[in-house]
Amino acid sequence: MSQERHQSQVSELPEEVERLNIHYRIQHIILFTTFILVALTGWALKYPEVEYSSRWVRIWGGPETAGIIHRVAGITMLLDFLYHLIYLGYRFFKGERSFDIVPTPKDLVDFFQNIKYFLGISRDKPKFGRFTYSQKFDYWAVFWGILIIGSSGLALAFPTKAAFLIPSWATNWAWELFYIMHSDEALLAIIFIFFWHFYNEHLKPDVFPMSFVWITGKISIKNLKERHPAEFERLFPKASIKEKEE
Amino acid sequence: MKREKITLLSLIFIFLISLLSHPDPAIANSLSCLICHGTSEGVIFIDGERFSKSVHGTLDCTSCHLKYIDTPHKTLEKEIDKSILDISLSIRIKSKADPVALSACNQCHPDVFGKVKGSVHGQNIFKKKKSDGAYCTDCHGSAHYISPGKSGQSPVDFGHVMETCGGCHEKESISKDYGFSPKVLERYKESFHGKKYILGHKKVPVCTTCHGSHDVKSSKDPQAMVFGTNRLNLCSSCHPGANNKFTSAITHKPVGRDNPIPYYAEKTLIVLTISVIAGCILHVLLEAYAIIRDYLREKRREE
């Protein structure tokens, strides 16, 4: 979204290209700090009957304090989400429109190609664009999670206010639904982040111990070529043609 | 055994001394009763030490056990207050040993007695003459060992009241007879309030907060705090601004097929969670396999 189109006339390739600008990096940092906080302070409520839950919640200053931390962190995360949306809107109206994160049919093709490669059916790795399907999945899972958990969380944190918004035909199930949405979806989000995000951005051998894009915002040309070949071609068409010829 | 003997001897000693100060042997005090009841097996046993530490520890046995006047007790000789006697006749079914003593609570706690009598528990005893309704000692425990309110030991304090109510309200047999769900406590523990309660939150409502204690009413009783529009006042005491749509949040009803939206939402989320996790793990494993395979292949080529 923020990548500047490098002029292909430049014969010399830059060492690295910007992948995430300062806004996205700030948004990401707020997102993961608040995510960790809400996950840790909310965890005990999922399984309160387990003895460790009460001990765990005592580390956070008891259930009342943990509840306050949870709410503050949750609202901060929602504000962060709002910042993200407003920033996207701002870019859209400025004409810097990029839909790199939107899933396309190519992602499905890439996915099947990748599976084929994993299984050894094909020797060719899929040629990923700016975002791989794994990264798009990661992004949209969090997006969906914030919508579901955030909306139900607001309703649970401010129940008397939320009560005015609930239509009267929904009162018999809305509260149960909020509760299920918040609690079950949160569990899904935590496990998902642990399996998917941690594997893809931390544990995978070629990024271990982690991908530094979240701090520097930059990706080296070497990594760009390896991991996002289609994006490399799009950014540096001449260089890639030259390479192919060689 | 040795300890018991010492206790017995010392109690007899104290008793003898107390005889000197109480020339009238008809006035039995706690110590003389405890000579038998505090030691011997086979009679109703009272733990003298616990009794003395309880809030009732300064009372004489005969303050409540009104029919007994001498030691060892013989027969009914004493005139008992008519109001106490009346209560004892009504609550016979609650105490086989000494219904008079159980009725004697009224002597010092008449206001509470009035509330209990009008409650759903009290009505069950006084009107329906059934033994299921909770009476003083059912909730507070034996009158001999009532703990001071702040001790954290009382069965009716914040930390214990759930278990105490559950003693009857989780029983299948009682719930069947009176048409309430034996799962209410379970549901409470799954609710917003209950989960916090289990974790040690101090400001959540417990059974008695919403249903009342001595004056507990059936939820079908229009006088009940949880009935109809009374609920609005009840909920808004903690949640100012609560409206009708808010008060439906707590029902103690299970999430079942009769409430299909949360039921199927939960099922859907479970399926979604399991399939997402399974898909992710599978993908990660496959990728790990490919990475190791490629690595080995590369190594072999180098050799």
* pLDDT tens for each residue of A45-91: 999 999 999 999 999 999 999 999 999 999 999 999 999 999 999 99
Last residue of a domain, one of B147, B180, B206: B147
The answer on pLDDT for A183 being more than 80 is yes
Residues of B with Cβ-Cβ distance to A188 under 8 angstroms: 269, 272-273, 276-277
| Structural domain contains residue B235 | no
Last residue of a domain, one of B113, B147, B181: B147
Distance from CA of B277 to the nearest CA of A (A): 7
| Total number of residues shown for chain A | 246
Of A67, A168, A196, the CB nearest to B245: A168
Q: How far apart are CA B88 and CA B99, in angstroms?
A: 5
Distance from CA of A78 to the nearest CA of B (A): 22
Residues of B with Cβ-Cβ distance to A53 under 8 angstroms: 198-199
Residues of A with Cβ-Cβ distance to B281 under 8 angstroms: 195
B142 & B275 share domain:
no
For chain B, say whether A111 makes contact (Cβ under 8 Å).
Answer: no
Q: What is the pLDDT of residue B36?
A: 81
Residues of B with Cβ-Cβ distance to A58 under 8 angstroms: 200
Q: What is the pLDDT of residue A224?
A: 92
- The 3-state DSSP class for residue A223 equals helix
| Total number of residues shown for chain B | 303
With beta carbons less than 8 A apart as the criterion, state whether B261 and A172 touch: no
B133 & B1 share domain:
yes
The answer on pLDDT for B5 being more than 80 is no
B6 & B140 share domain:
yes
Residue-wise pLDDT for B109-154, tens only, equals 999 999 999 999 999 999 988 888 899 999 999 999 998 877 888 9
Q: What is the pLDDT of residue B130?
A: 87
Complex confidence, ipTM? 0.86
Distance from CA of A13 to the nearest CA of B (A): 28
| Strand partners of residue A1 | none
Indicate which of A51, A134, A175, A182 best probes the interface with B, i.e. most B CBs within 10 Å of its own CB: A175
| Structural domain contains residue B239 | no
Q: Positive or negative CA dihedral for A154, A156, A162, A167?
A: positive
The answer on pLDDT for A106 being more than 70 is yes
What crossing angle do the helices spanning A22-46 and B192-199 adopt, rounded to 10°?
A: 80
Q: How far apart are CA B60 and CA A127, in angstroms?
A: 91
Total count of domains within chain B: 2
Contact A164 B280 (CB under 8 A): no
The answer on pLDDT for B296 being more than 90 is yes
| Structural domain contains residue B184 | no
The answer on pLDDT for A8 being more than 70 is no
What crossing angle do the helices spanning A22-46 and A51-59 adopt, rounded to 10°?
A: 140
| Structural domain contains residue B158 | no
Q: What is the pLDDT of residue B18?
A: 54
With beta carbons less than 8 A apart as the criterion, state whether B56 and B144 touch: yes
Binned at pLDDT 50, 70 and 90, residue B271 comes out as very high
Contact A160 B269 (CB under 8 A): no
Residues of A with Cβ-Cβ distance to B194 under 8 angstroms: 48
Return the residue matching tokens 């956070």: A60
Q: Average pLDDT of A122-149?
A: 94
Its domain, for residue B67, covers 1-147
For chain B, say whether A173 makes contact (Cβ under 8 Å).
Answer: yes
Of A48, A115, A184, the CB nearest to B195: A48
CA distances from A82 to A87, A143, B40, B63 (A): 8, 11, 75, 70
Q: Positive or negative CA dihedral for B120, B126, B129, B134?
A: positive
Indicate which of B202, B263, B280 best probes the interface with A, i.e. most A CBs within 10 Å of its own CB: B280
B143 & B268 share domain:
no
Of A49, A57, A184, the CB nearest to B270: A184
Last residue of a domain, one of B147, B169, B187: B147
Residues of A with Cβ-Cβ distance to B195 under 8 angstroms: 45, 48
| Structural domain contains residue B123 | yes
Residues of B with CB under 8 A from a CB of A: 189, 192, 194-196, 198-203, 239-246, 248-249, 255, 259, 261-262, 265-266, 269-270, 272-273, 276-277, 280-281, 283-284, 286-287, 289-291, 293
Residue-wise pLDDT for B151-195, tens only, equals 888 999 999 999 999 999 999 999 898 888 899 999 999 899 999
Least trusted range by pLDDT, from A10-14, A125-129, B9-13: B9-13
| Structural domain contains residue B19 | yes
Contact A191 B273 (CB under 8 A): yes
